[in-house]
């Protein structure tokens, strides 16, 4: 039986987005504050996902061995380092979150049966890499507050209450929604970026956060005059709103995850093909 195990690790490091072939003004225009000398730092959180068959001891791998491999090949080398100079790979391609993730995969691939590397630069920005050449994923997490009511207009209050429970109450209720938007694309071999991060964040702000924040969705967002604003329908609408601006910045929208509360969330993908890998589930073991 195949099983995926995950190992968590941490390192602290600094980096700078700076291309010597560009002038100071050009670097600042391209990278913003990330171009400022001498750089800036993060407390990175790394998740290494591995797959294999269970052995006679009920393990995919000996986690003590996994811990030592990750420390030897990655964290001891990167912890308290200046990433631009830490590894040769970052001399050619800048140490962006997505490129660091790719290079960590390359460093570990000969030692561990990898299926995914996930690297958090901070809780609102992370990247994933699955071994597909220069293709990677980048996720931005943000939030908005809004109210809604779940009710079909052609049904009575009693009928809506049977379907939606308390969510059908006539005056509605509110949530602090957390939104995760994931794009995918090819890492630029020089800048290390899938897409301009500032443009990515602006696309989410302009298309979703600004129009949705502090609204009553049923009344203030025309789409929900006819569509019940369940978490699922909100996520689908956000996906559709983001498709054009994400294409404009040179990336592809991969996934939208909407967290309505700590107990409820949903995910929608840009295409049905994106969901197919999940149609054949693999048992997953999360190891502390």
User: How many whole angstroms from its chain centre is CA 239?
Assistant: 14
Assigned architecture for domain 1-131: 2-Layer Sandwich (3.30)
| Domain-wise residue ranges, the chain | 1-131, 134-273
Distance CA 252, CA 234 (A): 20
pLDDT at 277: 52
Q: What pLDDT score does 139 carry?
A: 98
Q: Which helix (H) or strand (E) holds 239?
A: helix 231-248
DSSP state at residue 228: -
To the question of pTM greater than 0.85 for the whole model, the response is yes
- Average pLDDT by stretches of 10, the chain with 288 residues: 94 97 94 94 98 90 95 98 97 97 98 98 97 98 98 96 96 97 97 96 98 98 96 98 97 98 95 60 48
Does 134-273 match 1-131 at the fold level? yes
Q: What are the backbone angles phi and psi of residue 9, rounded to the nearest 5°?
A: -145, 165
Active site positions, annotated: 167, 214, 260
Largest CA distance in the chain: 68
Give how far Cα 178 sits from Cα of 173, 188, 224, 238, Å.
16, 29, 19, 12
Classify 134-273 by CATH class: alpha beta
Sign of CA dihedral 216, 219, 224, 227: positive
* Number of residues assigned to the chain: 288
């Amino acid at each position: 039986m195949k099983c995926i195990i995950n190992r968590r690790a941490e390192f602290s490091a600094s980096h700078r987005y700076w291309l010597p072939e560009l002038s100071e003004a050009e670097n600042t225009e391209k990278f913003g504050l990330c171009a400022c000398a001498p750089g800036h730092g993060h407390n990175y959180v790394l998740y290494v996902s591995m797959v294999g068959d269970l052995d006679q001891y009920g393990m995919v791998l000996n986690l003590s061995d996994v811990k030592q491999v990750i420390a030897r090949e990655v964290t001891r080398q990167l912890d308290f380092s200046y990433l631009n100079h830490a590894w040769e790979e970052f001399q050619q391609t800048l140490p962006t979150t997505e490129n660091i993730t790719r290079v960590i995969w390359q460093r570990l691939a000969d030692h561990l049966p990898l299926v995914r590397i996930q690297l958090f630069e901070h809780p609102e920005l992370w990247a994933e890499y699955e071994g597909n050449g220069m293709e990677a994923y980048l996720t931005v997490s943000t939030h908005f507050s809004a109210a809604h009511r779940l009710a079909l207009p052609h049904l009575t209050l009693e009928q809506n209450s049977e379907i939606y429970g308390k969510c059908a109450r006539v005056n509605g209720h509110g949530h602090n929604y957390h939104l995760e938007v994931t794009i995918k694309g090819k890492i630029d071999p020089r800048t290390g970026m899938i897409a301009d991060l500032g443009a990515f964040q602006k696309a989410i702000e302009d298309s979703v956060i600004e129009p949705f924040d502090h609204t009553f969705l049923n009344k203030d967002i025309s789409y929900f005059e006819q569509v019940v604003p369940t978490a699922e329908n909100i996520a689908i609408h956000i996906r559709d709103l983001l498709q054009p601006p994400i294409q404009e910045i040179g990336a592809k929208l991969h996934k939208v995850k909407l967290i309505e509360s700590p107990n409820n969330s949903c995910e929608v993908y840009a295409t049905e093909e994106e969901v197919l890998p999940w149609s054949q589930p693999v048992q997953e073991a999360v190891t502390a």
